Amino acid sequence: MKLFRRPNALQPRSIAFRLIVAVLVVELASSILAVALSFGYERHMAFHIFDIALHGRVDSILGAVQESDDGHDGIMLVQADLHLPKDDIYEVFDSSGRVLGVSPGWTGMAFQPGAPGHGSFFFQTIGVRHYRMLRFLGTRSVDPGKPGGAVVRPVTVLYGARTGKVWESIWGTVEFYAAGGVILLLVTGPLIAWLLHRGLLPLRQLATLAAGVSVNAWQFDPPATARTTPELAPLTHAIESVLQRLERSFVQQKVFVSDAAHELKTAVAVIKSSLQLLALKQRSAAEYKAGLERCLSDCQRMEEIVRKMLTLAREEDGAHSSGPDAVADLDECLRQNVAQLKTVADLRHIEIWIESPAGLPGPISVPLAGDDLSLLLSNLLLNAIEHSPAAATIDARLMLLAEQNVVELVIEDHGEGIDPAALPYVFDRFFRGDPSRTRNTGGTGLGLAITKAVVERAGGLISIASQPGQGTTVTVRLPLATQAASAVA
């Protein structure tokens, strides 16, 4: 049995964890860079000072080169005048290669022909020891009082000093910077974690408040810090907006369920009561027929509610008949729907006037299938007829806006209008401006929601303007289909 489970390498980490890791990685990289730069700088400065010291010691050796006592214009090294570090090595020779002097305990040649020339510094390993070497070519004057003048003698000094202490100084500085970087990481790691914890507190509070929202409790009161923090303010506003829309949608759904249940329950109750009345006693054929007709009317009402619910679901889910190349002639479809509704309009002595643009080179094609366009137009025309008084007129105007590549349809009635308080909600699903449930005025509240879904699916816009007692104007803008747009252009 496995007691431990290997953590998933792809398991997502929190934002705070990733920020902490990112900051620490940046600090670590900065510390490494600082240590590398300090090493280079300290090495340069340490050996620069060391080289100056070597040059000074070489000058001391040149000063100890004097004229020899043998009377042959020779030179020699007076080592008694030298006070040099005991671990340093040197070798002095003249132009002929004769050794004038070497450091105590030094027996070998540290410099070979072909080595670096005059004034050159170089590193040399002798045995297990490492030296910094300087080869310097100087001159000494011999017999300055001679009639022909002083004789100049070339002198070559090869001097070396051990570099161990220099490297100890360099590495000591590097270790100091490295230790400082490690201490910085150890101190800033918990500090960054604490600061991030404090900084993300408004976000956690926001998440806690949002988690408390449910269908029974829509209260969402974010803290002031969430509204004033630039990074959290857009998220706060987005959550509030989403919750407001969800609350309104849930309320609408709840109202719709209640409305639909009431509608269906009433129709079922009427059907049931009608059948019960027919069964109470013997009826005539005419009474049986009237009762069955009432039952049929209520069945048709239930069927209409269900049909509109299915239509709205189809439009919102995209399971519609309009394919990518579906087009329909708006002008022709409008005239057909007006003709189909003429009987309904004539019952109330209502006239529908159509105004189309003159001189069109072809049909006004919009990207909708014919059935969907007919559904859109019939909903708008039926609404206008139902809310217009007897003997009124309805105007349906088509206008081409070629510069915008759209066609505008305006349907204007002169009826009762819409309450300004209800106007913002007329396109909401299941909204009913008239809350009554009579057969004459009670609708399902789905017609305009279906209309808006059709228009938006075609990439268009729909709006309503209304004044109580003065009528309602519906404006629909639809994009022209490709071939229609080319013809208009």
Beta bridge partners of residue 409, listed in sequence order: 398, 476
Coil/strand/helix, residue 474: strand
Spatial neighbors of 348 by CB under 8 A, at least 6 apart, are: 385, 388, 390, 391, 392
pTM over 0.75: no
Identify the CA nearest to 482 among candidates 366, 318, 330. Answer: 366
CB 397 within 8 A of CB 474: no
pLDDT of residue 475: 95
Beta bridge partners of residue 135, listed in sequence order: 120, 158
Give percent helix, percent strand, percent coil of the chain, each to the nearest 5: 50, 20, 30
Rounded distance between C-alpha atoms, residue 23 and residue 189, angstroms: 9
pLDDT of residue 127: 79
Spatial neighbors of 363 by CB under 8 A, at least 6 apart, are: 329, 330, 331, 332, 484
pLDDT of residue 322: 52
Coil/strand/helix, residue 437: coil
Around Cβ 183, how many Cβ atoms within 10 Å? 11
The ranges assigned to domains in the chain are: 17-170, 214-319, 324-488
Beta bridge partners of residue 141, listed in sequence order: 152
Rounded distance between C-alpha atoms, residue 273 and residue 352, angstroms: 40
pLDDT of residue 323: 54
What CATH number matches the domain at 324-488, 3.30.230.10, 3.30.565.10, 1.10.260.40, 3.50.30.30?
3.30.565.10
**Residue count of the chain:** 489
In a structure prediction context, what are the per-residue pLDDT tens digits for the chain, which is 489 residues long?
Answer: 444 445 454 456 677 788 888 888 888 898 899 899 999 999 999 999 999 999 999 999 888 888 776 655 578 888 877 888 888 898 888 888 888 888 887 765 544 544 555 678 888 888 788 899 899 888 877 765 565 556 788 888 889 999 999 999 999 989 998 998 889 888 888 888 888 888 777 788 888 888 888 777 777 778 777 778 787 788 888 888 888 888 877 776 777 677 667 666 766 777 787 788 778 878 788 877 887 887 787 787 777 767 766 666 666 555 555 555 689 999 999 999 999 998 888 988 999 999 988 766 678 899 998 888 988 899 899 989 988 999 899 999 999 887 789 999 999 999 888 888 888 888 876 666 655 444 444 555 677 888 888 898 888 999 999 988 889 999 999 999 865 444 444
Single-letter amino acid code for the residue at 450: I
pLDDT of residue 3: 45
Rounded distance between C-alpha atoms, residue 199 and residue 194, angstroms: 8
Region of residue 182 (left: phi > 0; alpha: psi -120 to 50; beta: else) = alpha
Rounded distance between C-alpha atoms, residue 373 and residue 366, angstroms: 9
CB 312 within 8 A of CB 358: no
Q: For residue 373, what are its two tokens?
A: 């366009």
CA count, 13 A, side-chain hemisphere, 353: 9
Class of domain 214-319: mainly alpha
Identify the CA nearest to 142 among candidates 157, 160, 154. Answer: 154
